[in-house]
Amino acid sequence: MDHSSLDDDRPVAARCPRCASRTEWESVVDIYGERWLAVCRCGWLQAFLPDEPHLEFDDPLTAFLLGTRRTVAPPAPPWIRLFLRSTEQPWKARWRYSEEPCAACAERVRFELQVCPRPFWIGTCTLCLACGRVTTEYSQPLQNLHELAVTGTRWTPPCPAVQRLRDCILRPYAVRRHDDG
């Protein structure tokens, strides 16, 4: 970037304010306008938008990549991402709607899934899409064995109920397929 063509009052740096090294400038021009990014070896960044030269950015990389007219949508909660991902290949989990309200938030957006997490065992998993509450219960019907149900809502790091749900979806021994009828 030729700094001699810039007005003196524009806040661009030819040298890094942290380490005084020369900064390297990169630019992009697209339908959202022209944007520049200064990058230093020490990790310091500065964004410059010629259309809005006096703006300073808390996140220069985002300003460079997106400009000021676009925003990054917040990520979906982890239980929504898992639910959506589980319906795709290679898992193709067949969730069934459960009419019972969630015990934690009372919303009626619970879904249930049955899988075989290990030979001869059935795992019944419920997930509330409103609050992320998970309940997992393992049983072995042929021998009338039932493990206590595990319930939780902590996704990061995962509580035992969430970890069991993840294991049932992502590493099932076999997924029980239900007719949609």
Output 55 or 9, whichever has higher pLDDT: 55
Total-model pTM? 0.63
pLDDT in tens, 41-90: 898 999 999 988 888 888 899 889 888 777 777 889 999 999 999 999 88
Cα angle at 64 between 13 and 19, to 5 degrees? 30
According to the model, what pLDDT value does residue 105 have?
A: 97
Lowest average pLDDT, out of 65-69, 142-146, 174-178, goes to: 174-178
**Distance (Å, rounded) from C-alpha 144 to C-alpha 13?**
73
Copy the structure tokens of residue 164: 């069991």
* 72 closest CA partner among 63, 85, 60: 63
Counting every residue, how long is the chain?
Answer: 181
